[in-house]
Chain A
Amino acid sequence: MNWLMVVLGALAGAPLRYLTDRAVQVRHTTVFPWGTFGVNVTACALLGFLTGATTAATVPPALQHLVGPGLCATLSTYSTYSFETLRLAEAGAKFFAAANALVSVLAGLGAAYLAGALATALLG
């Protein structure tokens, strides 16, 4: 059951990451990879909400697996994030490379904490 939930979450998460990334990337002309940044921070917020909800209330394990290792973990990506950071640095955009590396981490953590607090406020 847990495996099935992970697969179902991933079947939605991976195409959503691709579609969101592309939808964002055609709407700006900067070199900053806003698409990957956006999906990663969104996934952190969702997973932060789930973590907060699991602490504040009873969340069925099936739902936890669907949203956690299934949807959120697959929606976010580390391989594309680090590849894009390296490509920015190689292309001479050192500032954007460093900004992408650091701001993604900080924004992800901030989103996780805010969403966790929201879950606690709603369900606690």
Chain B
Amino acid sequence: MTREHPEDDAPAPGPEPKPTGWAAEPADPDTAIDPWPPKPGRPSRTPAREQAAILSVIALGGALGACARYGATLIWPTDPTAFPWTTFWTNVSGCAAMGVLMVLITERFTVHPLVRPFLGTGVLGGFTTFSTATIDTQRLLDGGRLATALLYVSATLAAALAAVWAAAALTRRAVV
């Protein structure tokens, strides 16, 4: 994305509407804890106590999310040559929950500063997994299941993006 040069543009009819809600926030939700946009020069520093609290709730949330994901793989084990449904639904449901969470905490409620690190970065970040999905694909490819591998990669990506988008849109309609 290129920076806009206002002096090159035709005179604007009025001030641009300020983005609100999650459009006003950085794409990376983990950086939203700092003031945005960051001040040029040195990176902003979060006080040590606050940083320790953030790291603790992320670790705790990550452990909860990982237990839920690991539990799901024990309840619904997947055959190594079959479509990895368990990881697929883990990732898609985690993405839907992310869409709901981000609308609720950026557009509807003002929440405690530890809610986003705990639920977003910790629980949902730990519940969903990119690496397991990649290794699932590798195993399918190694097993000669090219079509299943391609279907798995594209279906996970498409369903995950659709889940974030649809969950956010439905949450906005329901509560914002």
Contact = CB atoms under 8 A, between A and B. Distances in A.
Interface of A: 3, 6-7, 9-15, 17-19, 21-22, 25-27, 31, 33, 35-36, 40, 43-44, 46-48, 51, 68-70, 72-88, 90-93, 96, 101, 104-105, 108-109, 112-113, 116
Nearest to B38: A26
Given A13-B62, A22-B30, A77-B125, A82 B131 contact: no
A13 B126 CA distance: 8
A91 to B, nearest CB: 7
Given A9-B66, A10-B65, A14-B59, A101 B98 contact: no
Contacts of B163: 82
Given A7-B66, A33-B27, A74-B65, A80 B98 contact: yes
B135 A51 contact: yes
Given A14-B58, A75-B131, A25 B125 contact: no
Among B27, B43, B63, B125, chain A packs the most CB atoms within 10 A around the CB of B27
A69 B70 contact: yes
B104 interface: no
B30 A80 contact: yes
Contacts of B54: 18
Contact of B121 (A6, A17, A86): A17
Contact of A101 (B95, B129, B157): B157
Interface residues of B, number: 58
A33 B44 CA distance: 18
B134 A82 contact: no
Interface string B103-147: 000000000000001001110111111111111011100000000
Contacts of A108: 130-131, 134
A13 B66 contact: yes
Given A72-B131, A109-B134, 18 more contacts: A7-B63, A11-B63, A14-B62, A17-B62, A18-B121, A21-B28, A21-B31, A26-B43, A40-B130, A69-B73, A73-B69, A77-B126, A78-B156, A79-B95, A80-B120, A81-B130, A82-B163, A87-B22
Among B99, B117, B164, chain A packs the most CB atoms within 10 A around the CB of B164
Given A15-B55, A51-B135, A84-B27, A77 B129 contact: yes
A40 B125 CA distance: 11
Contacts of A22: 30-31
A5 to B, nearest CB: 10
B30 A18 contact: yes
A64 to B, nearest CB: 12
Given A26-B43, A105-B153, A31 B27 contact: yes
A104 B28 CA distance: 15
Contacts of A43: 129-131
A14 B61 contact: yes
